[in-house]
Amino acid sequence: MILLSKRFNTGYIFSVIKDSIELLRGKNNVHVDKIIIDYEVRESYVAQINLVGSFHVEAEAKNPVR
């Protein structure tokens, strides 16, 4: 487990870039109705073995964000 903790830091997310986040707007293009975050991270582990973590979430905005 110690070896894995050297590779991962789940307290902070540094791999999300702005292209991984999508904001869907309503009819009048003012309020954000839905937020989609989708990204994947690959890290070297041992020799030619990589660890892959993927994340995808879609969230509906309950109160419109202005």
What's the CA gap between 20 and 46, in Å, rounded? 27
Per-residue pLDDT at 52 = 92
> pLDDT band at 65, cuts 50/70/90?
low
Residue 42's H or E segment, with its range, is strand 32-46
Question: For the chain, what is the domain count?
Answer: 1
What's the CA gap between 11 and 14, in Å, rounded? 10
> pLDDT band at 24, cuts 50/70/90?
confident
The residue segments making up the domain with residue 54 are 2-65
Q: For the residues 35-39, what does the mean pLDDT come to?
A: 88
